[in-house]
Amino acid sequence: MDSSVIVAGLVCIAAVFVLLVLAAVVSRRRERERRERLEVWAVQHRWQYVPRPVNEWWRRLPGHNKRGVSLALSGVVGGRAVSVAEYSYTTTSTTSGPDGSTSTSSQTHHFIVWVVRVRGSWPELSVHRRGAVSRFGRTLFGDRATALGYEPFDSAFRIRAARPETVRTVFGRDLVAEQLSGRLPEWSLYGGDLMVVESGRLAEPDGIPARFGPLVRVADLIENPR
């Protein structure tokens, strides 16, 4: 093989390596700056910024990664203690090539966790909008014990509850109406933590307090059912 071809190949490999290193450096710097913005915002608004907080939220999150909560910001919204956290977990997959070789790849899944404190201690309960599979299952097998008996709601949402008898205690008329209106997110409740989980990572922090509005409304309706 021509030595010039070998040299050109080595140069290309070196260039790719340098680009990868530079991309990693830039990514780490941007991540550091992003976290610094969150921390500065927390100080300015009298919130608390906590890296790697001790918590039990991971038990209710996808992947159940005990060390997955990387940071949390905690403050008060609408007179309630609230927290927003970042959580992640990693999945690994292995593929086989036609020659019998295998390759392994990993993917990290990022989530934002919104938590509002509710008075009292509640058994596990969550509400989810029905998808096609859930609607089909309902057609085949009927409603579960957690159904409210109100067709517009039961056809649009499914409720999971550790104690089905508590469902009607939680879902008053106003909560049902607002959930149906689309003004409220899917949520879960356990102990004193009311939670919403969404994919992504925190960006600019200025909109954080307003994002708690719908979940604070859920908390109010749970504590004061009407």
Total-model pTM: 0.84
3-class DSSP state for residue 71?
strand
Per-residue model confidence (pLDDT) at position 226 = 82
Per-residue model confidence (pLDDT) at position 21 = 47
> CB count, 10 Å around CB of 69?
24
Per-residue model confidence (pLDDT) at position 102 = 78
Per-residue model confidence (pLDDT) at position 98 = 74
pLDDT tens digits along 156-191: 999 999 999 999 999 999 999 999 999 999 999 999
Given a cut of 60, whether residue 199 has pLDDT beyond it is yes
Lowest mean pLDDT among 93-97, 106-110, 177-181: 93-97
Yes or no: say if 71 and 51 are a contact pair by the CB < 8 Å rule. Answer: yes
Yes or no: say if 189 and 222 are a contact pair by the CB < 8 Å rule. Answer: yes
If you search the block for the tokens 């993917």, which residue do you land on?
A: 107
Angle at CA 214, nearest 5°, toward 208 and 218?
A: 130
The pLDDT-based confidence of 26 (bands split at 50, 70, 90) is very low
pLDDT tens digits along 61-75: 999 999 999 999 999
- For 16-41, what is the mean pLDDT? 69
Query: Cβ neighbours of residue 129 under 8 Å, at least 6 residues apart?
Result: 156, 157, 186
- For 137-164, what is the mean pLDDT? 93
Given a cut of 80, whether residue 99 has pLDDT beyond it is no
What mean pLDDT is reported for the chain? 89
